[in-house]
Structure 1
Amino acid sequence: MTLNVAQKLIRSHLVHGDMKPGEEIGISIDQTLTQDATGTLMMLELEAMGLDRARTEVNVQYIDHNLIQEDYRNPDDHLFLRSAAQRFGLWYSRPGNGVSHPCHQENFGKPGKTLLGSDSHTPAGGAMGMLAIGAGGLEVALAIAGEPFFTRMPQIWGVKLTGHLPDWVSAKDVILEMLRRHGVDGGVGRIIEYYGPGLDTLSAMDRHVIANMGGELGATTTVFPSDQEVRRFLRAWNREADWAELVADTGAAYDVQDEIDLAGLEPLIAMPCSPDNVRPVREVTGETIYQAYLGSSANPGYRDFAVTAMMVRSRPVHERVSFDVNPTSRAQLETLVRDGHIASLLHAGARLHQAGCNGCIGMGQAPATNGLSLRTVPRNFPGRSGNREDRVCLVSPETATASAITGVITDPRTLGMPFPHIADPDDPIVRQDMFVPPLPPEMASGVALEKGPNIASLPALEPLPDVIEAPVLLKVGDNVSTDEIMPAGARVRPFRSNIPEIAGFAFERIDPTYAARAKQVAGHIVVGGSNYGQGSSREHAALAPRFLELRAVVVKSLARIHAQNLVNFGVLPLVFSHPEDYDDIRAADILRLDNAHQALAEGDHLTIVNVTRGRTLEVHHFMSPRQIEYVLRGGLVNWMIERLSRSAGPQDA
């Protein structure tokens, strides 16, 4: 039987189910990745479960999101995460070491392995021939405890690449082309696998750019083969021994097909306020910009900064433009310093920030009111930058820099300068001393968790009631993102380890009265449109409303990670069987579901009564028997506590 790369990765880790699209499968996990915005809660979940020590091969806790130390909250969390990493047996990446995804590729990524990360851009690891999937922190906690990761077997979407990228066109334009063609939900239920002769022209970090933003298509993950380019990358980072070839068999088939001629691409731009609002740059040139922003996990490579440095050596940036440069790993930063590129950027007017996520997730570098911001980040959802009135565009480093030079949106092909051909170096400065290794088990068991005053243990969640009768507290439209359910930014993120406090910000951008109203009722329901919960994996978007007694969401369709996060915290994820029923529900209507336990046990179709209007509506769910058990028990933590109490070792689910 011929297999593609994705099928090989799944088959080699399959512990439950069959590889049939739509069937539930369980796969063993080799590595995990967490960052500080989601890791604090995950560590509290490990504590609540009573885990003794991590049972996966490699686990890394990164500090990259919450680096601003304007008060005690973020530094307290850094110390808590360091102590938790030592207690449970994880690597710890120190603040300032860099963004999790490029740092992981540089130091830990290994072809043929599975990686589960509590960040929706974890699929960037697919650039290395890994099966790298983003999930909620609770699922990552289970993987650390030795449990399989469960999901529906995706379709495999083969995208054949041919040709060679023209000058002034780069990897960001490849993924923007995919978004232009297929939209933010085009990859739902699919793994994207790139193959073909065009791969030979893309570096490992180019592939990282494309794999990172596959999440914006809604894809489960993105996969590239492990070929000689991956071998070259690992050799440069002193890890050639970790390389193994992993390519598709000759004649391997795909469930869905697409093809991109790289030579036919041009500079593209995603206009506000969605990653799929993509147009050719040449169609929107001339509008004044306020900011050009370089960096983030979506464009983290050496060449992304070096090309920019070469472009501004003779032409400094426009005096009106805030030219923000965010290095993505300390090792890359030191290499860029060594090669003179940082000096060129600073001389041209760049504002150099520490290695981390920073403005990508609204932690500083917010644009001015209504000021157009051209960024190399992966997302431009409304308000994500830290400014409610933001106008963020997604572009390549070449387009961002050309526009910074002129002060207006500019097609880089019109600058009249030669294209600076830059390759990733074969001799980067390797900085592994910024990682604190796991302690030996005998020392780890004696480590006490360092909890500052803002760190609260995980709240207890009661089981699902058999009768749910509650008001529709909120009705929202299509494509509501987790940024809108639970905002990012410097004002909110410091409370990520304090659920009672962070719950007050839930749905704030949609309805500032939501949290206060939720506290006045004993349970409530949210009704939504299509692609509800797209975007970030942050489980606070499920847990905070659940803390406010959200019992169910009833929507036209759900994004994968958020749907699982709702299940993990005991919230019923329900889908309209007849989407037009959405129009018949009003905010404040009372909905009732009788005999919920029996209805869930008997099938995937349920009947809800709109008590206010005297009507019934049919809904269904996509939960497996395992997920139903989680919901009935009040969430995955309750389920796992019972499981660990029954056995000291992992068992098949």
Structure 2
Amino acid sequence: MVQLFESGAYLIDGKELIADNADAAVQVAAKTGRTISKEEAAKQTMAYKILQAHNTSGDDEHLKVKFDRLTSHDITFVGIIQTARASGLEKFPVPYVLTNCHNSLCAVGGTINEDDHMFGLSCAQKYGGVYVPPHLAVIHQYAREMLAGCGKMILGSDSHTRYGALGTMACGEGGPELVKQLLGRTYDIDMPQVVAIYLTGKPVKGVGPQDIALAIIKAVFANGYVKNKVMEFVGPGVDNLSVDYRIGVDVMTTETTCLSSIWKTDEKVQDFYEIHRRPEEYRELNPGAVAYYDGVVCVDLSAVRPMIAMPFHPSNAYTIDELNANLDDILADVEKRAAVSLGNKVPFTLRDKVRDGKMYVDQGVIAGCAGGGFENLCDVADMLDGQSIGDGRFSLSVYPASQPVYMELIRNGSIAKIMETGATVRTAFCGPCFGAGDVPANNAFSIRHSTRNFPNREGSKVNNGQIASVALMDARSIAATALNKGRLTAATDIDVNFTKPKYYFDSHIYEKRVYNGVGKADPSVEIQFGPNIKDWPSMVPLTDNILLKVVSEIHDPVTTTDELIPSGETSSFRSNPLGLAEFTLSRKDPEYVGRAKKVRAAEEAREDGKCPCQADDEVAAAFNEIHKLFPDVKASETEIGSVIYAVKPGDGSAREQAASCQRVLGGLANIAKEYATKRYRSNLINWGMIPFIFEPEKLPFANLDYIFVPGIRDAVKEKQPKVTAYAVKDNALESFELEIKPLTDDERQIILDGCLINYYKSH
């Protein structure tokens, strides 16, 4: 089904792979009639060509990228624009789309969600942007319909910013990276490696894009095969996939931890742009005659079967047939994973979902950028036509990804077919993906064609004694399960005629309602603020030395951004940095906020010119030990902050708040064995936090210990790869080394200045 090359490979004419071995150059020459170096062939990937076309550095290896277009949603755009305004923003330099698809229900927190929306509209008018009102489209569907273009690059403040199937290289990053683009700066990365996703065959009837995606994620996530690399989709199998199908696979590439994705394009993609009345955005993209890839993932589409990703990660995937045949073993494994993820805080089992040897689920949801596409919902309608989902516990809800999609589903009768079964149809909304819509009952099990199934991602609160869970599935198998009143069923078990109706895009919906101010900035417009929209608190530059208190110690294999800052109803406070910070690690370590605030109080005393030792007895005791070895260190000149240790933090969402919330509570660093994603590490840096690495299993410090790092400012400034730190414990200092992976010159300066906002003020 999915096979990984142990080495790189050459791709000849987009069809034939030659593994990189001792004879590879000879084989390539025999096939092509010429000798080509690996370095030259690596420049023939689509990814390399697009990146270089957007690179402003003049250096092929160290890139400074400027994007063509930007996009954000209503959880992120307020903070981004506030940061940019504080740094001198005058107008949006490129098309910038503000969608309202996360807080669109406006159901929690009084007026604050709609206040954010009105802030966004007024900023689009003032700075020359695009404003998409609530319920019209989820962020990525609007970008596909109205923003993507072959050979273009798009940066979005949502991790699932992926439009590779449309020939667009897109990256999802934290808000500060968009701020840089708004202020004319660049996205600075080393040239990433490129991995070929080589598709062959044709999916069997009933297998959908989510099945293909989960099979790939299972193969590459845990081993980091594509981490921070570009996934380039090639091979004859691409031709056998519709554009909607490709989009459904592509959006899930985020869950592999890759940097971005790109697909070869063809007449089907050309048709997509023509249907969406933007034919000028199409051009054919293919790798060169001989292209070199740093790895290869071979996917036989015909061998993929309906998949299910069990809690609590998209990579925890099985075929549905495999799960049904091995329920006891697989459910036992899920319980073990739950014990780690949930910290044994609540009892968790799915064994009670097994009746007469069959697995039953409580809820089905097909939604958002992954599930709410036209083809998915047409196939669902064909499967459900004339049937009933029953009047029992099982429910099914469907969210078309945009109003144009919704409109066409109404016109062709698909919506009627779905609703006649007892399923409900909603507007374009991302809520089910992050716990703000269709929150299941306690102990319920939901199957979803959405993007993630992390702990609490469905909206439950472990600290309140609640638990529910989500498995990811394709829309077709969710429909098959609905036909059986919640009994887990693979779509391939259902005999159905898929009618595959043609899609007709109606642009009038957007023309009548979306505000398009690109090129029409109006400085006279007054920005509309609400009482919950707050400025960022001030942050100080890095001092010569720092004293850190460990305030949370997490040993889970992976820590998600959802665990660092919960999604769901907390998103209403995303425009209020201090208000949102109250929820930091609330579902993982409820003691974190109180501990961090106590450390922050000592630092505030220092910043006010007082002696921090007089403000905190623990700080005084720590400095007593420090002075035994470093008598000249002054507490008044040593920044005091908190630090968390996690094995592998930052998987999942691009939300900058996973880092900024730590920072506004006084966080100065993270310590990790590795960082799950480039975007989380970048978020730490942009908020002035040092991304330390400590790889040994045995920690020289424990939770609530202090760590003294002398000479840290010089170490950052002088590009030192390691620093000596001291754990303050047992009336002594225990030395150990912390690693700092390479930083760009700008990243070092941002840390030295204390955060990105300070950096812009002083540079």
TM-score (norm 2): 0.81
Map of 2:489 onto structure 1: 410
Q: Give the aligned partner of residue 357 of structure 1.
A: 430
Rounded to whole Å, the distance in 1 between the matches of 2:178 and 2:691 is 20
Match of 2:532 among 433, 447, 454: 454
Q: Could you say if the C-alpha distance between residues 213 and 19 of structure 1 is closer, same or farther in structure 2, counting changes exceeding 3 Å?
A: farther
Amino acid at match of 2:57: H
Give unmatched runs, 5+ long, in structure 2.
1-39, 325-357, 462-466, 603-639
| Equivalent residue number for residue 650 of structure 1 | none
- Matched with 1:297 is 369
Q: What are the superposed Cα offsets for residues 123-159 of structure 1, whole Å, 9 maximum, x if unpaired?
A: 2x11211110111111112112222111232110001
- Aligned letter for 1:571? M
- Which residues in structure 2 correspond to 1:81-100 (within 5 Å)? 81-100=120-139
Q: 1:259 to 1:128 in 2, by over 3 A?
A: same
Matches within 5 A, 1:104-253: 104-123=143-162, 125-183=163-221, 185-253=224-292
Q: 1:396 maps to which residue? A: 474
Distance 2:221 2:66 in 1: 31
Going from structure 1 to structure 2, the CA distance change for 1:254 and 1:560 (only over 3 Å counts) comes to same
Query: By how many angstroms is 1:440 displaced?
Result: 5.4
Specify the alignment match of 1:368 in structure 2: 441
TM superposition shift of 1:529: 3.7
* Whole-Å separation in 2 of the counterparts to 1:6 and 1:424: 31
Q: Counterpart in 1 of 2:48?
A: 7
CA spacing shift, 1:531–1:428, aligned 2, 3 Å: farther
Task: Give the 4+ runs in structure 1 shifted more than 6 A.
Answer: none
Q: Which residue of 2 aligns with 1:601?
A: 717
Q: State the match for 1:646 in structure 2.
A: none
- SS state at 2:531 partner: coil
Distance 1:181 1:550 in 2: 35
Number of the residue aligned with 2:752: 632
- Between stretches 204-213 and 520-529, larger displacement belongs to 520-529
TM-aligned CA distance change 1:85 to 1:145, over 3 Å? same
Q: Could you tell me which residue of structure 2 aligns to residue 647 of structure 1?
A: none
* Percent identity for Structure 1 against Structure 2: 29
Q: How far has the Cα of 1:428 moved from its partner?
A: 5.4
TM-score (norm 1): 0.94
**Given that residues 237 and 430 in structure 1 are in contact (C-alpha distance below 8 angstroms), is that contact kept between their aligned partners in structure 2?**
no
Question: 1: distance between equivalents of 2:142 and 2:641?
Answer: 41
SS at match of 1:132: strand
Q: Secondary structure at the match of 2:582?
A: helix
Residue number in structure 2 paired with 1:556:
673
Q: Retained in 1: the 8 A contact 2:373–2:400? A: no
How many residue pairs were aligned? 633
Q: Which residue of 2 aligns with 1:489?
A: 568
| Counterparts of 1:340 and 1:628, CA distance in 2 | 57
Aligned-partner SS, 1:444:
coil
Residues 310-336 of structure 1: CA deviation (Å, up to 9, x unaligned)? 111122113221211111101100010
What amino acid sits opposite 1:387 in the alignment? S
Partner of 1:380, secondary structure, is: coil
The aligned amino acid for 2:51 is: I
Quote the RMSD (CA, aligned, Å): 1.6
Q: Is the 8 A contact 1:473 1:524 kept in 2?
A: no
Report 1:316-355 matches (<5 A). Answer: 316-319=388-391, 320-355=393-428
Q: Aligned equivalents of 2:81 and 2:103: distance in 1?
A: 16
Structure 1 stretch displaced more, 513-522 or 275-284:
513-522
1:277 pairs with one of 316, 325, 330: 316
Q: What is the Cα deviation at residue 46 of structure 1?
A: 1.7
> 2:522 maps to which residue?
444
Tell whether the 8 Å contact from 1:233 to 1:426 is kept in structure 2 after alignment. no
The amino acid across from 2:736 in the alignment is: L
Deviations 1:276-328 (A, max 9, x none): 00001012232111100012111232011111111111221132212111111
Q: Give the Å deviation of 1:573.
A: 0.6
Q: Distance in 1 between the 2:241 and 2:508 partners?
A: 22
What is the CA–CA distance in structure 2 between the aligned matches of 1:327 and 1:83, rounded to whole Å? 27
Secondary structure, counterpart of 1:252 in structure 2: strand
String of CA shifts for 1:398-447, please: whole Å, max 9, x gaps.
Answer: 111111221121122223x2242525525556632232011655x61011
CA distance in 2, matches of 1:44, 1:170: 41
Please list, as runs of the form range in 1=range in 2, the aligned pairs for 1:33-52 lying within 5 A after superposition.
33-52=71-90
Tell me whether 1:69 sits opposite 2:106 in the alignment.
yes
Residue number in structure 1 paired with 2:454? 381
Q: Which deviates further from its counterpart, 389-398 or 619-628?
A: 619-628
Is it true that 1:54 corresponds to 2:172 in the alignment? no
| SS state at 1:120 partner | coil
Matched to 1:599, the amino acid is A
Name 2:67's counterpart in structure 1.
Answer: 29
Say if 1:474 and 1:529 are closer, same or farther in 2 by CA, change over 3 A. Answer: closer
Q: Identify which of 595, 620, 639 aligns with 1:517.
A: 595
Distance 1:373 1:17 in 2: 50
Select between 634-643 and 65-74 the one with higher mean Cα deviation.
634-643
Structure 1 unmatched runs, 5+: 644-653
CA contact (8 A) 2:396 2:482 kept: yes
